[in-house]
Amino acid sequence: MNSRLRAQELLAPAGITLDGNNPWDPQIRDESVFGRLFSGGYLAIGETYMEGLWDVKDLPELIRRVHRSDVSSRIRAFGSLKLLPHIVRHRFLNLQSKRRAFEVGEKHYDIGNDLYERMLDKRLVYTCAYWRGIPPAGGLNDAQEAKLDLVCRKIGLKRGDRVFDAGCGFGSFAIFAAERYGAHVVGVTVSKEQAALARERAKGLPVEIRVQDYRDVYDGPFDHVVSIGLMEHIGPRNYHTFMNKVSSLLKDDGLFLAHTIGSNWTWPHVDPWFDKYIFPNGYLPSPELMGKAISGTFVLEDWHNIGPDYDKTLMAWWENFQQAWPELEAKYGKRYGGRFYRMWKYYLLSSAGSFRSRHVNLWQLVLSKKGIPGGYTAVR
Question: What confidence tens digit (pLDDT) does each residue in 59-82 have?
Answer: 999 999 999 998 998 998 887 667
Where helices occur in 83-139 by DSSP H, the ranges are: 84-92, 103-104, 113-119
Question: Cβ–Cβ contacts within 10 Å for residue 264, how many?
Answer: 13
Residue 24 DSSP SS3: coil
Q: What is the pTM of this model?
A: 0.96
Superfamily of domain 103-309+355-368 in the CATH hierarchy: Vaccinia Virus protein VP39 (3.40.50.150)
Q: Tell me the angle at which helices 172-181 and 140-154 cross, rounded to the nearest 10 degrees.
A: 70
Nearest to 230 by CA among 277, 194, 267: 194
Give the single-character DSSP code of 70: T
CA atoms of 356 and 68, how far apart (whole Å): 10
Q: Where are the domains of the chain?
A: 3-82, 103-309+355-368
Is cis: bond before 268, omega within 30 of 0? no
Classify burial at 300, counting beta carbons within 10 Å of its beta carbon; exposed 0-12, middle 13-18, buried 19 or more: middle
Distance spanning both ends of the chain, measured CA to CA: 53
What is the pLDDT tens value at each position of the chain, 380 positions in all? 699 999 999 999 999 999 999 999 999 999 999 999 999 999 999 999 999 999 999 999 999 999 999 899 899 888 766 777 877 888 778 989 998 999 999 999 999 999 999 999 999 999 999 999 888 778 999 999 999 999 999 999 999 999 999 999 999 999 999 999 999 999 999 999 999 999 999 999 999 999 999 999 999 999 999 999 999 999 999 999 999 999 999 999 999 999 999 999 998 888 999 999 999 999 999 999 999 999 999 999 999 999 999 999 999 999 999 999 999 999 887 789 899 999 999 999 999 999 999 999 999 999 999 999 999 999 99
Strand partners, 360: 263
CA atoms of 116 and 172, how far apart (whole Å): 13
What's the pLDDT at 320?
A: 98
Nearest to 122 by CA among 176, 164, 167: 176
